[in-house]
A and B are shown apart, each in its own frame.
Chain A
């Protein structure tokens, strides 16, 4: 078996690889973005009412363990076979557990004495959350986003079964036609996208948390 370089060249030029890249990225960004917003809201609830933590992790935990093929299929009767909602509801569901856990752990991990000193200086609770707890939780939150994003890039390859584009189409079609080049291109590009997003987020974290980068032994 050999790689069909000509196919790759043709598809790059005609733009179907480029189009799949855009679709794949769009699905990933929407899923992680919406996941982050939903997780944030649920995390706020957990931080305010700690008793909600157990049920929230229980439900999102179950969502997380449902096999993705099954979840896509369950959602078809609700949103239709080719609806973007079918894909997105499933994708977002998978991000929730990891994001909520990291947001809550990040905020709770801010040392008590830092919060107490902030309160003692006369910051309002709202300002403590926005100016102290949230920035200090950033490393944990970004760590969660990295895992969620990488997982989502992988899952988006499956959305082809509910009629969505992306690299999954190459993989599915390549396997069906026993055309190695196409399947391989889809797989490798998905891996590459995951790596690029992951590295990008690491870079973002470094830029957003300069205090955690410089550290001299005291």
Chain B
């Protein structure tokens, strides 16, 4: 756990404090994103945790220990640190870069080697890259090495300052998802600075929104912040598409699914027509037990048994862990105006615009 209490930082010669008086508790295992406009004190706050910047006043505790009571270089060996420019050592190979902290800690050679191999795999690098120099890697690969290096000595806490800010949007999204997965597996406490609200709500289990001077505007779960912004500032910072962003965070499984206009292929045409009438639609979904076969338009339902019809595919099949934002997209682009949800066990149900809209306003 990380605890900041009334932390203040005034840089020498500055007229206003970079961080005025910040109190923040980061429970163990949480992924906390610090987000706010440029110059609001995010980086300063982060760097005070590993004492790259010394606070003017206040206390900071990591794992119950006052950081000011620990030698800075010893403190830092127990805290992973990743920055936007990565800061890999240009004169050291990938392998040597990753081994930096274990070496400082005096691990034996074979233990370091085994750990490096494990990390290279963990962050998705090729093994043949171990002997390359940083200049021989792409931006995305460098950032992976940066993450591997920060994780090398298995520190309980990871500090990250806009770690994916320097790579192009496609690579960034990829790295974000991979890193979130990695975090789920490793269970580290992460403090992650970003100026990008989308990244903040997508990555964080909690989001701290900071205003100029390090003023904490809101600190809560991302869904909660998007649903109930605590202030005018937060609402403005969240921007136009708050509702859609919120949907991006909620899984399909959180919505109430309906069975919808579906019949089993063993049923007769009459029953199919009855289902369509009840739902006031001109198509019907066909099930074979739990298996969703597809849909047929009303015009094709005559006297032929349903089993002999050729059903059309639903273009998008949603899974329970897909986001409602994706579901909404599926709904508005599909001919049938519904999103069908299929899990490992087979057909789960469908949702329409109304169902999704309810989730936005909830």
Contact = CB atoms under 8 A, between A and B. Distances in A.
B87 A116 contact: yes
Contacts of A10: none
B52 A119 contact: yes
Contacts of A116: 52, 83, 87
Given A116-B87, A118-B89, A122-B74, A211 B81 contact: no
Contact of B77 (A121, A135, A215, A218): A121
A117 B135 contact: no
Interface stretch (B25-33, B136-144, B204-212, B322-330): B136-144
Contacts of B34: none
A119 B89 CA distance: 12
Contacts of B52: 116, 119-120
Interface of B: 50, 52, 73-77, 81, 83-92, 100-101, 104, 133, 135-139, 141-142, 146, 149, 159
Contacts of A119: 52, 73, 76
A39 B101 CA distance: 32
B90 A136 contact: yes
Interface in A183-218: 209-212, 214-216, 218
A92 to B, nearest CB: 30
A136 B87 CA distance: 13
Given A120-B76, A121-B104, A122-B77, A114 B89 contact: yes
B318 to A, nearest CB: 38
B98 to A, nearest CB: 11
A53 B159 CA distance: 36
A76 interface: no
A218 B83 contact: no
B87 A211 contact: no
A209 B91 contact: yes
Contacts of B50: 120
Given A121-B149, A123-B104, A215 B91 contact: no
A218 B139 contact: yes
A65 interface: no
Interface in A169-185: none
Contacts, number: 82
Interface in A79-134: 111, 113-124, 127, 132
A114 B97 CA distance: 11
Contact of A120 (B74, B83, B89, B90): B83
B87 A117 contact: yes
A215 B87 contact: no
Contact of A122 (B90, B101, B135, B136): B101
Contacts of B83: 113, 116-117, 120
B89 A215 contact: no
Given A116-B52, A122-B74, A214 B90 contact: no
B85 A113 contact: yes
Contacts of B101: 121-122
A215 B132 CA distance: 10
Given A117-B88, A132-B89, A209-B91, 19 more contacts: A111-B87, A114-B89, A117-B81, A117-B87, A118-B87, A118-B100, A120-B52, A120-B81, A120-B87, A122-B77, A123-B73, A123-B104, A215-B133, A215-B135, A216-B136, A218-B136, A218-B138, A218-B139, A218-B141
Contacts of B76: 119-122
Given A122-B77, A215-B136, A117 B91 contact: no
Contacts of A212: 91
B74 A211 contact: no
Contacts of A216: 135-136
18 contacts: A111-B85, A113-B83, A113-B84, A117-B83, A117-B86, A117-B88, A118-B89, A118-B100, A119-B52, A119-B73, A120-B52, A120-B76, A121-B81, A121-B149, A210-B133, A211-B91, A211-B133, A215-B133
Nearest to A117: B87
A149 to B, nearest CB: 24
A118 B52 CA distance: 11
B177 to A, nearest CB: 22
A95 to B, nearest CB: 26
A214 B52 CA distance: 33
A184 to B, nearest CB: 45
A111, A122, A209, A215 pick with most chain B CB within 10 angstroms: A122
